[in-house]
Structure 1
Amino acid sequence: MSLTFYDFKHAPSPRRIRILLALKNINHKAIEVDMMKAEQLTDAYKAINPECTIPTLKLEDGTTFTNVAAMNAYLEATYPEPSLMGTTALEKAEIAGWQSKIEQELGMAIPNALRNSNPAFKDRALPGPINYPQIPELAERGLTMLSNFMDKLDKHLDGRDYIAANQLSVADIAAVSFIDFTRVVGNKITEKHPHLLKWRTRLKEIDAFTL
């Protein structure tokens, strides 16, 4: 089946699917949508994804998925090897739990910190077709959330190679995509988080995580 993937190489969410596609060695056509030029807000892209978000995954029959959760679920079910969402009930539950935690805490912290402070996002504090004003207090809270989550994840990774279920999973993909992107708000992994640093170094040895 032909797949078309609408990507933007500088954002964390499309990177999550880019890594998954590489790990599963899935053939697809990639189309870059330049968010710096607001191409996601054009009529042409709205016809594909009315939410004006990136990424989008389009199937040969025209079916489109416009959020990462749906793409993960579809691609895992259609291309089950290697498993990135677990195979047993316990593995699936643990991976899903950490995936949710990463998205709710880390995934919320970064856009709050970036979009509510950077002048480039004036009146664009949230992605999508509707403009929302910046709230500076949310930027401060985002940085605090980010710091707290980094501490939490470092402690969790003590004695673990991967975040969940003793396997490389979508939880690792989400975490690395978000954490690498935190450089835009002046954050980076340091010796303060030795377990997190070891985990990130291990993932660098996997080609898909260089994308």
Structure 2
Amino acid sequence: MIVGVVADARNDGLRNPVKPAVFIPYTLSMSQGTQILARSDVPPMTLVHAIGKQVNAVNAEQQIYDNVEELSLWIAEEPEWQQDHLVSWIFGLFASLGLALAAVGLYSVVSYTVAQRTNEFGIRVALGAGRAHVLRIVFASTLVSVGGGVLCGLVLIGGLNKILARWADGNAHDPMVLTAGTLLLGLVAGIACAIPAQRASRVDPITALRCD
């Protein structure tokens, strides 16, 4: 008789495929060294004494070993988890470095573009354009560049997903991950563009028209 069906669980290491398994009542078969897993909303180690009392209430002669530890700590000691953790840190480090380089590069490009268009902004301001209009021009040009870069990145993610899957678990097509990454890039681009845009909106028309 089947009582119920549970979801798959890692029962043969963190990397090996899940093997078929069944749960048998402990009253029918309990091997030596049986482990008991307990889930709680409080620190697990604070419940060791209470769990021991419950076990003794069922069988006063049942021995309980002292090597009790949190499941998260036990998993963290596995070589597979440590290697994946290291790979995650390396990917995160390179991602942070790439984000910083992109922000510096974008700031430099926008600053150079603003400097080259100083006369244009001066003429626009002289003809009555407001600061908001100049800001929209600078941000619009940056949006085109950033939008093109994000689009190329999404295309590369679709093409390189299988290669990246060999190094780290997870799905690169996760909409939450893609959305968060796009928003983060947009935020960094906005910050990198803000200073040059503010400078462009404060251009003195007379000074700008005198520039070569």
TM-score (norm 1): 0.24
Q: Which has the larger radius of gyration?
A: 2
Bigger share in strand: 1
Larger RCO (CA within 8 A; separation ≥ 6): 2
Bigger share in helix: 2
TM-score (norm 2): 0.24
